Amino acid sequence: MTALDSVLRQHAEQQYADELDALTAADTRQRPPRWKMSPWAVATYLLGGRLENGAEISPKYIGNPRVIEIAVATLATDRALLLLGVPGTAKSWVSEHLAAAISGDSTLVVQGTAGTSEEAVRYGWNYAQLLSKGPSQDAIVPSPVMRAMRAGKIARIEELTRMPGEVQDSLISVLSEKVLPIAELDDEVLAQKGFNIIATANDRDRGVNELSSALKRRFNTVILPPPRTADEEVRIVETRVASVGRALELPAEAPALEEIRRIVTVFRELREGVTADGKTKLKVPSASMSTAEAISVITHGMSLAAHFGDGVLRGADLAAGMVGAIVKDPLQDRVAMLEYLETVVKERSGWKDLYRACREVME
């Protein structure tokens, strides 16, 4: 076992190194400055496909391919990219893979929170050096954005709208002039060719800060929608669960497609407030009911089946994770869940096991 094999979650450029190498070898199209591959190859890496040399590229994004093409084309210009969408629409996943394919490095990341400071976006100071030698280049602690500018790479900013407004606006000069001033040294960092920023944001969760008009104008916004159909969402969940299961080395059988479809159906119906046949209106829980949470429920069920069952995923293994994902508010969500169980799950053919398991969890 190599050192990377023992890592719980490898970076995209490590986990998919063989695919990236195969694409780079087969890529004869023009590449923007400092890009590891052409925009066509980047899109192929995310969307998947078979190369002329027979190499198979697995899909990282399952959905409308035009969304990925627009995102890649944006990054080939001097415009920054804002991936916008509700929670669980693979914004961070797409951001990581875009950076891995373009720069070969997805690690230049600023994680946005309510406590993120301007230093995390621009630069900070090594105070021991600052006290002993005064302001100098050696005393600067570069942010991921500064490092990306110097190296001509992609910087990622996760959850941009969770940052305070004044921290968000510290990006304006970087995005417009491609310059990061260092006022204390009367100096500046000029972005090298290849530099750009991918930011992710959603406006559904609590605690978000609206982007200023000035900042919005400096991004090209691409909206990542929820999966359009149940079949598309089932495919996404199946693909991601297989990847997570391999990484965690879960000793369980691959989940039956029907079990995945049941969870996807539950989440889609509660998310949309109506059953798949359109006949029954439902209370919508406060939880986001995203595809990412469906993946988590299946993975949790596989762990139960592997360690406390016979390795075969069944309704009883799904129930605890499903109830936990849906019932975030103990009053409102519990009522919605119970109503759904009694009016839909209980009456649906072949779902009695899931109904009994969920009722047992909720008692």
pLDDT for 204 beyond 80: no
Banded model confidence at residue 255, pLDDT cuts 50, 70, 90: confident
**What is the DSSP secondary-structure string of 141-193?**
EE-HHHHHHHHT-EEEEESGGGS-HHHHGGGHHHHHHSEEEEGGGTEEEEPPT
Q: Which of 156, 149, 206 is nearest to 182 (CA)?
A: 149
CA atoms within 13 Å, Cβ hemisphere of 71: 30
Mean pLDDT of the chain: 92
Q: Please report the pLDDT score of residue 5 as a whole number.
A: 67
Q: Please report the pLDDT score of residue 2 as a whole number.
A: 60
More confident residue, 6 or 159: 159
Q: Please report the pLDDT score of residue 252 as a whole number.
A: 73
Q: Please report the pLDDT score of residue 153 as a whole number.
A: 98
More confident residue, 128 or 205: 128
pLDDT for 3 beyond 70: no
Q: How far apart are the first and last CA of the chain?
A: 45
Which residues lie closer than 8 Å to 24 by C-beta, 6 or more apart? Answer: 36, 37, 41
More confident residue, 363 or 222: 222
Which residues lie closer than 8 Å to 76 by C-beta, 6 or more apart? Answer: 32, 35, 39
CB atoms within 10 A of CB 353: 14
State phi, psi for 76 to the nearest 5 degrees: -80, -5
Percent of the chain with pLDDT over 90: 77
Q: Please report the pLDDT score of residue 205 as a whole number.
A: 65
Q: Tens digit of pLDDT for each residue in 37-54?
A: 999 999 999 999 999 888
CA atoms within 13 Å, Cβ hemisphere of 93: 18
Q: What is the pTM of this model?
A: 0.90
More confident residue, 153 or 309: 153
Average pLDDT (237-257) is 84
Q: Which of 156, 260, 181, 169 is nearest to 209 (CA)?
A: 169
Specify the range with the lowest mean pLDDT, choosing from 20-24, 132-136, 171-175, 353-357: 132-136
